[in-house]
Structure 1
Amino acid sequence: MANFKGHALPGSFFLIFGFWWSVKYPFKHACRKNRKVCSSGSKVGLQRMEIIEGATKAAFALIGMIAEQFVPDGPHLRLYNYEEKQWSHLMNWQHSTMYLFYGISGIVDIITHTTKVVPVAIDRLMLSIAVFIEGFLFYYHVHGRAMLDVHIHLLLLVAVFAGALCVFLEVFHRGNIILELFRTSLCILQGSWFWQIGFVLYPPGGGPEWNQMDHNNMLFITMCYCWHYAFALLIVAINYGIITWLVQIKMKKVEPIQMGLLKSREREEESEDEI
């Protein structure tokens, strides 16, 4: 992660999942409210998507671990350098550990939705642990750095620990649309903020570097963080509105068909009475 690409990779990971969740959870909520719209095929499709989601999460985590370990200046799976008598690339190892727990979460998702071996809530518990581990590692990741570097990472921790708490609450309140949308907005915030960290600390294309000790930069970056969250809320609101609108359109198409079936049944009953 000690470069722009290293922050863009996890940023893309969270943005993709956040955008997907902003579509999936409103659709599942609409299905629960309007069972006539969602057929058994839709439920099977959602079940498959849960499995694909877990596999994608595990694949992203594996890519992240490989990238952290086998970049040219990476540790290459060597934890201790016996020649120099010191730990080898601990920053890379920390990032690999973060990806490891997200990979475990993905594997648990697959097991949860393909078998009945484990309780369903285990997938949320493991995701909560993975998000907490991310925040726990980042908290001890920036000690001794420049003021702006520390501040921009601490802002990230707000979204991380809030997300961990939100997912943990879902263990006991599964299917709560408020918690699901809140977690989705925090995931999008994490993704966009990883990109922002990359632009601030490692400007691409040889752009001007930020003054790490300027207090005005800290004020601006804090305000920028709020804009990022407004952007995340906007995405969630737009997708929620679009999905709700599409479901209502489908409901209007389904209702005339059902009314026609009811009328045909009433006519059959009337003809039977006449006989």
Structure 2
Amino acid sequence: MPTSFLGSALRGTFFFLFGLWWSVRYPLKYLRRKAEAQPSNGVQRVEVFEGTVKAFFALAGILAEQFIPTGPHLQLYSPKSHSWTDLTHWHYTTIYLFFLISGIVDIVSQSSLRLPQGLDRLSLALALAIEGLLLCCHDYSDAALDQHLHALLAMAIFAGALCALLEVFIRDHIILETFRTSSFLLQGSWLWQIGFVLSSPWGGAGWDQTDHSNYTFLTMCFCWHYAGALAVLAANSAASRCCNESCQLKFGDIDVELDCGMCIRRGPRSSSGALLPESPSDDK
């Protein structure tokens, strides 16, 4: 599969940014969920935001794959040469199409249409499964190193697809969410690695496709990438926990009741809070 560094880097950035966002969001959601009986409206707004970003990047990817100077410009078959045109661009267009569908489902799931719960995770699982299928079934010809790199990438893709599929039935499970996040971080960083191996950003040819030591090194490097993804997860989870605890220390002694205009102050010597009416003319 002919791969440009810029295209691989842009796709990797999309997955890595989503992984970074989830590595902060899910630990915070897990900590907040312990204190809240029901999900707040803020959670729904975040889901809509994620779906909008996903759909925007997917649509931008489709337009970029089709309408770059060397793209097929929506032409799948050439009547002149009697052959398919630029199937690699069409492969990536198909991948972006299913992520676009996933983003739209994320948005609609939070609307008043009341779609079945889990449909958003199912659409994400399908998008990842389609991505892995197209990468695995592509004709790599004699580019054996290229095939090996994308086979390793497929492992991260199908791992994320499996997690998303399980989340259809097991909702809001922190372990599944964390594992899916790590698969996105791994996929994003590995796409950058593929760009460096197959097409150097500084020009020149990529790595030697016939050197078998490259296979051993890159397989080991794949494991290092996952170790790095776990390190990012651990660091962001720790930072999220510290942030959550600092907010509790700052605002933990006062709860504001917006519905009745009262505030509850909890003292260390009293087991029950005292209701203090708010006055428009507070002493200053």
Task: Tell me the TM-score normalized by structure 2.
Answer: 0.87
Residues 1:229 and 1:265: Cα distance change in structure 2 (over 3 Å): closer
Q: Which residue of 1 aligns with 2:262?
A: none
Tell me the number of residue pairs that the alignment of Structure 1 and Structure 2 aligns.
Answer: 264
Instruction: Write 1 or 2 for the structure with the bigger share of strand.
Output: 2
- Structure 2 counterpart of 1:206, which letter? G
Superimposed CA distance per residue, residues 210-257 of structure 1 (whole angstroms, 9 cap, x where no aligned partner): 111111011111111011101111111111111112212222334434
Residues 1:238 and 1:142: Cα distance change in structure 2 (over 3 Å): farther
- Structure 2 counterpart of 1:32, which letter? R
2:58 maps to which of 42, 55, 61: 61
Question: Does residue 31 of structure 2 align to residue 30 of structure 1?
Answer: yes
Return the structure number with greater relative CO, CA threshold 8 A, min gap 6.
1
Instruction: State how 1:145-160 maps to structure 2 within 5 Å.
Output: 145-160=142-157
- Structure 2 counterpart of 1:219, which letter? T
Comparing 234-243 with 137-146, which one deviates more in the overlay? Answer: 137-146
CA distance in 1, matches of 2:40, 2:142: 49
Measured after TM superposition, the shift of residue 48 of structure 1 is: 1.1
Residues 1:102 and 1:132: Cα distance change in structure 2 (over 3 Å): same
C-alpha RMSD over aligned residues: 2.1
Conserved 8 A contact 1:156-1:190: yes
Q: Which residue of 2 aligns with 1:179?
A: 176
- Structure 2 counterpart of 1:82, which letter? P
- Structure 1 counterpart of 2:29, which letter? K
SS at 2:202 equivalent: helix
1:48 maps to which of 40, 45, 50: 45
Conserved 8 A contact 1:79-1:87: yes
Instruction: Write 1 or 2 for the structure with the bigger share of helix.
Output: 1
2:207 maps to which of 210, 218, 230: 210
Identity of aligned residues (%): 49
Q: Which residue of 1 aligns with 2:257?
A: none
- Structure 1 counterpart of 2:34, which letter? K
SS at 1:196 equivalent: helix
Task: Tell me the TM-score normalized by structure 1.
Answer: 0.90
Instruction: State how 1:30-179 maps to structure 2 within 5 Å.
Output: 30-35=31-36, 43-179=40-176
- Structure 2 counterpart of 1:162, which letter? A
Q: Which residue of 2 aligns with 1:260?
A: 267
CA distance in 1, matches of 2:16, 2:53: 13
Superimposed CA distance per residue, residues 46-73 of structure 1 (whole angstroms, 9 cap, x where no aligned partner): 3212111101100000111111101111
Question: Does residue 200 of structure 2 align to residue 199 of structure 1?
Answer: no
CA distance in 1, matches of 2:66, 2:102: 20
Q: Which residue of 1 aligns with 2:245?
A: 248
CA distance in 1, matches of 2:103, 2:151: 26
Question: Gaps (5+ residues) in structure 2?
Answer: 255-264, 276-284
Conserved 8 A contact 1:9-1:64: no
- Structure 2 counterpart of 1:35, which letter? E
Question: Gaps (5+ residues) in structure 1?
Answer: 269-275
